[in-house]
Amino acid sequence: MQHVLVIGAGIIGLLTAYKLVGAGLRVTLVEGGEPGREASWAGGGIVSPLYPWRYPAAVQALALQAQDAYPALTAQLLQDSGVDPELHVTGLYWMDVEDEEQALAWAARFERTLERVPVDDVRRTIPALADRFQRALYMPGVANIRNPRLLKALRVALERLAHVEIHSQQPVQGFVQEGGRVVGVRTAAREYRADQVVLAAGAWSGELLATLGVQLPVQPVRGQMILFKCATDFLPSMVLAGRRYAIPRRDGHILVGSTLEYCGFDKSTTENALDSLRATAAELLPDLANAPVVGHWAGLRPGSPDGIPFIGELASHPGLWLNCGHFRNGLVLAPASCRLLADLMLGRAPSIDPTPYAPDQRLG
């Protein structure tokens, strides 16, 4: 049985492991902290890029396939783990979009339902919406997912399977090479070896590859979020204006995010961000001005050029595969990204052209 070592147990690492084990491989996951507690946990959980028509074709291809895959994936995870990831189809309103024609042309090209909606109709649906908006676009099929529960479902499902090991609190210090191949990693405690190694360490992927002399343009980008608790009918749909959004959970929690900060590996929260997010919340939904913030946290996204992830084997270091650099869309792209990596590792015909993601095409 082929043995694969996966570095990182966020959404990409966990789902990569889930797909490989499902294909009959043995998998060991090595995580520097606690599984599922970094960017995957900290994000909002919208199952769409914020403005999908503005992204490169490579991101769009993964996003569209992943969106279509999520209903079956979450149903399977509920069956395998007993944990409901809470895929919640609310639809998404974009307010005062400047490039409406581009958005509508994109939707027509990919056969996605996206429509102009009179703003008065939006206000009837969302009475709490601010009066300042003039135009709206609406996509009814967009969902959000309770990302901490998705991660828990994946971990529980993996723990119930044979041929899976998860090792927490084991920061990787370097790679083990033998016979011209990457065959494992070193931590302070021990070495882990396998037939193939997958790097899915999110914002830390660039630092780890640097130990091999490979310059991967993936860097940490901090994002801060706040959480309100409201009545369950306060916000029936997601709302996005500018670069900020409000996301309703089934239980009345409302997420508002997020910031985009280049400050290294600093994951602390700041008063400036809190004030900015509260102001954004009130601009979208004025009643939130007087609502208490029940949560405020930060995560580190794996920033990459154009948000296009690196997926595939590193030819300069045989045996080492990458699945990293998803920037703001790790959770959005995960089902398609991990499927593509599994296809490549297993020698299956990929359902998406792998060329735009191939590390060797992009690292020179």
Q: For position 130, which CATH number holds? A: 3.30.9.10
Confidence of residue 1 (pLDDT cuts 50, 70, 90): confident
Final residue of a domain: which of 282, 303, 324? 303
Does 172 share its domain with 114?
no
Does 172 share its domain with 321?
yes
Confidence of residue 363 (pLDDT cuts 50, 70, 90): confident
Confidence of residue 361 (pLDDT cuts 50, 70, 90): confident
Does 226 share its domain with 357?
no
Does the pLDDT value for residue 323 go beyond 80?
A: yes
Confidence of residue 204 (pLDDT cuts 50, 70, 90): very high
Across 302-314, average pLDDT: 97
Final residue of a domain: which of 262, 278, 303? 303
Does 223 share its domain with 208?
no
Give the structural domain span for 135: 92-140+219-303
Residues 218 and 325: their CA atoms lie apart, in Å, by 6
| Per-residue pLDDT reduced to its tens digit, 229-268 | 999 999 999 999 998 999 999 899 999 999 999 999 999 9
Does 213 share its domain with 223?
no
Does 65 share its domain with 147?
yes
| Per-residue pLDDT reduced to its tens digit, 64-107 | 999 999 999 999 999 999 999 999 999 999 999 999 999 999 99
pLDDT of residue 207: 97
Residue 344 and residue 315 in contact, taking contact as beta carbons nearer than 8 Å? no
Does 343 share its domain with 195?
yes
Query: Which H/E stretch holds residue 332?
Result: helix 330-346
Percent of the chain past pLDDT 90, that is, above it, reads 96
pLDDT of residue 277: 96
- Burial of 121 per CB tally in 10 Å (0-12, 13-18, 19+): exposed
Does 117 share its domain with 172?
no
The closest of 318, 268, 333, 348 to 357, measured between CA atoms, is 333
Confidence of residue 140 (pLDDT cuts 50, 70, 90): very high
Q: What is the CATH number of the domain that holds 187?
A: 3.50.50.60
Using alpha carbons, list the distances in angstroms from residue 167 to 34, 50, 171, 329.
9, 34, 10, 25
Does 116 share its domain with 81?
no
The closest of 71, 62, 117 to 94, measured between CA atoms, is 117
Q: How many domains does the chain have?
A: 2
Residues β-bridged to residue 199? 7, 322
Does 133 share its domain with 241?
yes
Across 288-303, average pLDDT: 95
Does 128 share its domain with 155?
no
Full 3-state SS string of 49-90: CCCHHHCCHHHHHHHHHHHHHHHHHHHHHHHHHCCCCCCEEC
DSSP letter, residue 309: P
Q: At what angle do helices 57-81 and 330-346 cross, to 10 degrees?
A: 90
Alpha helices in the chain (DSSP H): 11-22, 39-42, 57-81, 100-109, 119-125, 147-159, 205-210, 271-284, 330-346, 359-362
Residues 220 and 199: their CA atoms lie apart, in Å, by 16
pLDDT of residue 364: 64
- What is the maximal distance between C-alpha atoms in the chain? 67
Collapsing DSSP to helix, strand or coil, 231 comes out as: coil
Final residue of a domain: which of 279, 303, 327? 303
Residue 73 and residue 80 in contact, taking contact as beta carbons nearer than 8 Å? no
Does 168 share its domain with 71?
yes
